[in-house]
Amino acid sequence: MADAVATPGETEKLPAAVSPGIPMKMVIMIGVTALVLGLGGAFALFKLMAGGHGGEEAKTETAAAKGDSHGEANSKPAADEAKPGATKAGGPGVMFDVEPFIVNLADVQEIRYLKITVKLELETQEASVELTSRMPQIRDTVLVLLSSKDSVSIRTSQGKFQLRDEITQRINSFLSKPSVRTVYFIDFVVQ
């Protein structure tokens, strides 16, 4: 029993009793989790707020595209994107609508058709005036180009990129100054 009784000097040497509260590791883990969730929520809110502005622009562009009636002459510059004068080299160009092309493809074994609608991105508004005056020659050269293609070559991504480049080169060859930046495919149907 002598061992069980402690002298006053020995009580100071005994370790303190562990409190029955939450361990420190658990407190740190809860704090880190709350911090991560808070940052994730703030990031999601920021993206949602920033994405809202781009969505409205996309809705406006979609509504403008749907507003074009098929009965109107499609070979005029888009009114909302056509700005007088030159555009910046890095900025968006003037968009020019071209009526759809429907051609027989050069497939030998089967008769296949291609329906394609394109928009041209131009350097300046003045180029759209020249394009309008040269539209019969431009349509002819694009029709000849399209009817020389077969369905296998234009179905691939590489074939579409090559076709886009060929159309751009052929149209630019009719202009006094090469003003077509690129060709955009709006509809591309092989049947």
pLDDT tens for residues 127-167?
Answer: 999 999 999 999 999 999 999 999 999 999 999 999 999 99
Q: What are the CA-CA distances from residue 125 to residues 78, 79, 81, 96, 167 (Å)?
A: 11, 11, 10, 9, 20
For the stretch 67-108, pLDDT in tens is: 443 333 444 444 444 444 444 456 788 999 999 999 999 988
Token digits of residue 82: 């056509």
What is the distance in angstroms between the CA of the first residue and the CA of the last residue of the chain? 103
Q: How far apart are CA 150 and CA 44, in angstroms?
A: 47
Q: How far apart are CA 60 and CA 44, in angstroms?
A: 24
Domain regions of the chain by residue span: 22-67, 94-190
According to the model, what pLDDT value does residue 128 have?
Answer: 92
Q: How far apart are CA 131 and CA 138, in angstroms?
A: 8
Mean pLDDT of all residues belonging to the chain: 78
For domain 94-190, which architecture applies?
2-Layer Sandwich (3.30)
H/E run at residue 151:
helix 151-155
Higher pLDDT, 22 or 119: 119
DSSP 26-62: HHHHHHHHHHHHHHHHHHHHHHHHHHHHHHHHHHHHH
Query: Taking the model in full, what pTM does it have?
Result: 0.54
